[in-house]
Amino acid sequence: MVKRNLLLIILAFFSIYVFWGSTYLWNKIAVTQLAPFYISGIRMSIAAFLVFGITKILGLSLAITKRQFINCFIAGFLFLAFGNGMFVWALKYIDSGFGSLISSLNPLFVVVILAVMHKRRMKPLTIVGILFGIAGMVLLISQKELRLETGSGIGILMALSAVVAWSIGSVFVAKADFPKNHFVSTAYQMAIASVLLIATSLILGEEWISPKNWELDVSISLLCLVLFGSIAAFTSFNYLLKVVDTEKVTTSAYINPIVALLLGWYFLDETITGQSMLAAGILLIGVYFINSRKRPVVNNDD
């Protein structure tokens, strides 16, 4: 049982590290043609439908208490409606690589929130890891080769607000009461977010383009966002928040930029410099120190 749990944790970390790192590319491709809240709403609607289908096939109970539903609503809003929707909107004005760098601030926000809300002291190795993370982000952002697009100021502001919402959600989910099965919890959060996103799109008067008129690369991007970004990665994220420290889960924000930069370089012809590679190495060192924190062994055999 312990080995099975360890394997699940490893696979879940791979999912949030690699799959989420690729979502910057897919979102950037999709948002070049489609309105941000429209595409996010479609993505969450399809993902929710599929995850509910998975729960049905697995014979899982969809029973949920009032408190659990409220918690799913809060998490769905913070993570998927505001966090994801606003970030996709920001990608209209900033490139995918730069957007991933802003997301790297997530672990820093989380440890501050934990310290303030729960009076939780940061361990020495966590502080060292954060310092390495900051150093790596400074190296990445300070590159002369980095070019922002027109309207990038508002894009950066909204991306930051999305990261703050995601950080608050990470702390909230770690302690709140949710359905025991992570597929069920994910399905409800996605369904709630899809309603909020579609409602926002309608209120803003976004243009809705029929899927039959989408370019092939946009269709592929949506497919990847649904299968890998939403179902695989977000379910893994919810799972990890319950079995490992929140700070360790948010280390995905250090790895995602590296994945995003590589994919942006390969698919979008974005430049990767020697400074980027050096920064990537420093970020990985930061991840190592944060993950070096010791935690009590918990029996998860039940």
User: Residue 142 corresponds to which amino acid?
Assistant: S
Buried b (16+ CB within 10 A) or exposed e, 107-145: bbbbbebbeeeeeeebbeebebbbebbbbbbebbeeeee
Q: At residue 144, does pLDDT exceed 70?
A: no
Q: At residue 142, does pLDDT exceed 80?
A: no
Q: Coil, strand or helix: which one is 217?
A: helix
Q: Which residue has the tokens 């790297």?
A: 104
- Whether the CB-CB separation of 19 and 182 falls below 8 Å is answered with no
Q: In the structure encoding, which two tokens stand for residue 88, read together?
A: 């996709």
Q: In the structure encoding, which two tokens stand for residue 79, read together?
A: 């993570």
Residues with Cβ < 8 Å from 207, sequence gap 6 or more? 35, 38
Q: In the structure encoding, which two tokens stand for residue 4, read together?
A: 């099975």
User: Residue 12 corresponds to which amino acid?
Assistant: A
The mean pLDDT value for 119-135 works out to 82
Phi/psi of residue 250, nearest 5 degrees: -75, 0
Q: Coil, strand or helix: which one is 47?
A: helix
The mean pLDDT value for 23-35 works out to 94
Question: For position 4, what pLDDT does the model report?
Answer: 64
- Whether the CB-CB separation of 192 and 24 falls below 8 Å is answered with no
**Selected residue with higher pLDDT from 152 and 36:** 36
The mean pLDDT value for 52-65 works out to 93
Supply the pTM of this predicted model: 0.82
Question: Where do the domains of the chain lie?
Answer: 2-291
Dihedral angle sign, alpha carbons of residues 276, 217, 152, 226: negative
pLDDT digits (tens, 9 = 90+) for 181-198: 888 999 999 999 999 999
